[in-house]
Structure 1
């Protein structure tokens, strides 16, 4: 119930339209009751009326009344359907926006622990199921309740004793609704979880299709996908069994009630205590009532699925970001002097420190390189500077200000990042270069592309700067993608640059072009280089060697070689590999 009430909070902005929709539903329910009631005068005043003059009078009026009732009912049903679906779709729009906004605000650690396919499934499949509950409760559920109220009122108006007999069956009908609802909710949760797994498998296999084919793993991926499909099918069939049992159960209960009414009411007609018109109107109303009760059961099944989806969605919405702007955090538009790490310690997992007391200083305008063996903590230092994570101990300061006291948006405006793994979007070349810039300035885009050695290959594309590059830039070569990423950083024009070596996976020609682009990017900036190949940091102003989360050596290239330590060892290993 708590989950459902929380879902209905999204209804508040649309209360005015909901009130209009409720008024329309009340009118529709009244017209539904009138459509059943009209059977009574048709039989009593026309078919069974011994007064022929009165029968002729009614035969002229009642057909017009029937047409008016059903025409008005049709108009109000259209208005009701339109309003309910408009409100339902707007609410789901709001839910999706809220969920996406929240997810994109969560910290990197959250994404490290999640399957991307599962997150996609939350926003698409789970929110769609929630839409069913909101739309159904606003439309079918409330409409059915109002119709039930209207029809029950009509039954009491026609014959209170028979009406009491009819509603005695209602409590019996509620029991299967509750039981089948529980089974539907359990099955729905399993189905949604498996759909998340299926989406994750699809996401991984499609994104990694080159590796899948290279290793001949198509059949393995098919088996993995089929296994998840089997489990999805099993959960789906559990829900189908519960849903399929609920309808015949409800119909059987309804049939028992209707049979009892026919027996009692038919006896009354034979004995002359009940008119034929009242009998037929009552039977018509009671047969119209039980489908409305059955609809409540159907709506309950949908609502149980939605509640299961809602719990999964709110589970994410209740996840708090680890990285937040502290109270009083301020803008900081300009980097002036230096960046310092003071006794910085950090662990991805409790008790497993990746950094164990890092102390370093980067002066404005310096090229500062961090080197070390794989897993030593090089990339972690850069992630902490960009505040993708916060250190567990120690401080990172820019111009003497703890970066936790600078707004995240302001901090990241100071920093440009070019990574070894180039991230591009399925958009035009121009839009990718201008990513993060509020307005696309054609001249700036052109200048950035030229500085990144990208202009020449761009103008050779089918639509030049308007060419779509595909998912993750798949239509471009590795060197071309890297140059677009550098152009993007040049256009941003940040005073601080984090450079996760961008040339390590390129061919020689592309490497030369990319290295020239990087040199252009590094001009007049403070550059934090995460070095994988030591040949690229020979000219760095300062090099720090990290091993096991601790700074072991620091100095310039020649100084570190002279120490004959870890740096020398790494350098010699790489030199031999390139012989």
Structure 2
């Protein structure tokens, strides 16, 4: 129930929905009961039970009895029809029959119009609520720390945002509306049944717990299997995502059969789990159907005895009772089906809420201020960082003065990229602090901190959108002139104009319609467009061929002229003119200085240079 209540919060404000929904459900149920109640005067008219009594001296007046007293409503109706027969002449009973059947049609029309209105209201509420769940998931994912994505499987996240939300949409929200509407129908139907025959209705209540206990047992089993099935569906998505992302590697290593076998094993596990879940889910409806048939048969025997023995029930009342009781089975079966679906939805809801409950560690502190200007330097003071108990950086002390270029070099895995990720607060140091102009970066809002920075990485991260929107990413009011200027500086304008739609060309998923050099130049154009004060380049040219590297390097040099730059380089030739080169090995700074100074020391940097010249 805790999961159910939390999911219900997404329906807020629910009062504006429930009031008209409950009102329409009540009116629809009343007209539905009235429709079946008309069976009694129809039968009594046909079989001459109606009109045998003398014309009443005075009709009952509506105000003489309570509106909820169905016995008096029946008496009033029969008196009215008896009067019609007494005053109607030879064909009076046919006129009454027409009248009763016409009234039945009107009641049926009103009942179904109200049912349609409740369905429209339900679907409106359902769509709005599920949209809020989707938005909450997206908003949460956008704010999550980089550390979360380092350990989470993308396929699992996609499954929670799609499959699990669909399960909630089809189960929880349908269940919520079912548990508001169907109980109302049951209450009104049983109230009418009590008014027709108290003895027969009390007898029916004895049978209900037998069915309810079995359905509850099925529902508990279903939730457990549903969660397992949804986790396996997430695994399938993860394998598919990995294969698509690494398709070139799969083909290069002739691993198609391996991937197919891996997927097939997981797919068979999913099928087995799904079949177990389905067998329990589909059991609820046939079980309720069988129990409904058993109920009706037992009630016919019991009701028939009341008609035949002590005459406490008339024939028309008995038939109306059975007809109305068959309608009781519909909301009862809907509730039984909803219980099964809700258990499946609760399992999906648990997975959604589990993701929404992930603690966000990198966030604005209370009273965080805006970083207005950057005047002096970025400093790392005794900074250490550990990831999963493994120390990646150890006691780093480093100053990056404004307007200067500092390069980080060293063996792979030494912690260079991790260090650069600490400055825009993709991660926070486990020890020490990072300051800008002497103030801890944690004192600034994340937005204002990152607004001052531009980042170009080895992997060009582009989006399935136009070239224009990729360069102006994150800006809604960018001018075409500004975008074109950034592209020209990045040496990208010529190849863009050579494309069929120019800046309006869609570059495909991850920019796959472009070459590696073209993608990287678009990434640089995006950074130039932002006009950053602090620039972070993480091996921005290491994956390029010589010709592309020259174009990209020229664009980077222009970009770095007016920036404070932190450059991570694999090719040492690209950072020889840096104001300071910092050598990092095993998470520690082992050397610092200019290119010439470090070569004279004949240490790690000299060794790296020698290896690249070989």
CA contact (8 A) 1:29 1:143 kept: no
Give CA deviations for 1:505-557 in whole Å, capped at 9, x if unaligned.
11121111111111111111111001111111110000000111111100001
Hey, what's the Cα distance between the residues in 1 that align with 2:305 and 2:17? Answer: 48
Which residue number corresponds to residue 287 of structure 1? 326
Which residue number corresponds to residue 181 of structure 1? 219
2:588 is matched with which residue: 535, 544, 550?
550
Hey, what's the Cα distance between the residues in 1 that align with 2:273 and 2:161? Answer: 21
TM-score by length of 2: 0.91
Pairwise mapping of residues 229-248 of structure 1 onto structure 2 (< 5 A)?
A: 229-248=267-286
CA contact (8 A) 1:81 1:139 kept: no
Q: CA deviation at 1:291?
A: 2.9
User: What is the alpha-carbon root mean square deviation over aligned residues?
Assistant: 1.4
The verdict on how the C-alpha distance between 1:378 and 1:156 changes in structure 2, with shifts beyond 3 A counting, is same
1:84 is matched with which residue: 122, 147, 150?
122
SS in 2 for 1:193: helix
Q: Which piece of structure 1 moves more, 416-425 or 241-250?
A: 241-250
2:497 matches 1:459:
yes
SS in 2 for 1:425: coil
CA contact (8 A) 1:436 1:492 kept: no
Give CA deviations for 1:135-154 in whole Å, capped at 9, x if unaligned.
32343332221121121111
Which residue number corresponds to residue 33 of structure 2? 33
**Bigger Rg over Cα:** 2
Which residue number corresponds to residue 419 of structure 1? 457
2:342 is matched with which residue: 288, 295, 303?
303
Q: CA deviation at 1:54?
A: 5.2
Hey, what's the Cα distance between the residues in 1 that align with 2:111 and 2:283? Answer: 32
Which residue number corresponds to residue 44 of structure 1? 44
CA contact (8 A) 1:376 1:547 kept: yes
Hey, what's the Cα distance between the residues in 2 that align with 1:563 and 1:545? Answer: 12
Q: CA deviation at 1:566?
A: 0.4
SS in 1 for 2:391: strand
Hey, what's the Cα distance between the residues in 1 that align with 2:394 and 2:173? Answer: 54
Structure 1, unmatched stretches of 5+, are none
Which residue number corresponds to residue 15 of structure 1? 15
The verdict on how the C-alpha distance between 1:379 and 1:56 changes in structure 2, with shifts beyond 3 A counting, is same
Which residue number corresponds to residue 474 of structure 1? 512
Hey, what's the Cα distance between the residues in 2 that align with 1:491 and 1:46? Answer: 87
1:277 is matched with which residue: 311, 316, 319?
316
Which residue number corresponds to residue 109 of structure 2? 71
Q: CA deviation at 1:50?
A: 6.5
1:123 is matched with which residue: 154, 161, 166?
161
Q: Which piece of structure 1 moves more, 213-222 or 481-490?
A: 213-222
SS in 2 for 1:13: coil
Give CA deviations for 1:472-518 in whole Å, capped at 9, x if unaligned.
00000000000000000000000000001221111121111111111
CA contact (8 A) 1:544 1:554 kept: yes
CA contact (8 A) 1:194 1:228 kept: yes
Hey, what's the Cα distance between the residues in 1 that align with 2:175 and 2:44? Answer: 38
TM-score by length of 1: 0.97
The verdict on how the C-alpha distance between 1:47 and 1:457 changes in structure 2, with shifts beyond 3 A counting, is farther
SS in 2 for 1:560: helix
Pairwise mapping of residues 158-557 of structure 1 onto structure 2 (< 5 A)?
A: 158-271=196-309, 272-350=311-389, 352-557=390-595
Q: CA deviation at 1:274?
A: 2.3
Q: CA deviation at 1:53?
A: 5.4
The verdict on how the C-alpha distance between 1:365 and 1:67 changes in structure 2, with shifts beyond 3 A counting, is same
Aligned length in residues: 575
Q: Which piece of structure 1 moves more, 378-387 or 212-221?
A: 212-221
Structure 2, unmatched stretches of 5+, are 52-89
Q: Which piece of structure 1 moves more, 329-338 or 48-57?
A: 48-57
CA contact (8 A) 1:46 1:58 kept: no
1:135 is matched with which residue: 167, 173, 186?
173
Hey, what's the Cα distance between the residues in 2 that align with 1:48 and 1:375? Answer: 97
Give CA deviations for 1:87-123 in whole Å, capped at 9, x if unaligned.
1110111111111101211111111110011111111
Which residue number corresponds to residue 102 of structure 1? 140
Hey, what's the Cα distance between the residues in 2 that align with 1:491 and 1:244? Answer: 58
CA contact (8 A) 2:172 2:346 kept: no
CA contact (8 A) 2:414 2:584 kept: yes
CA contact (8 A) 1:346 1:393 kept: yes
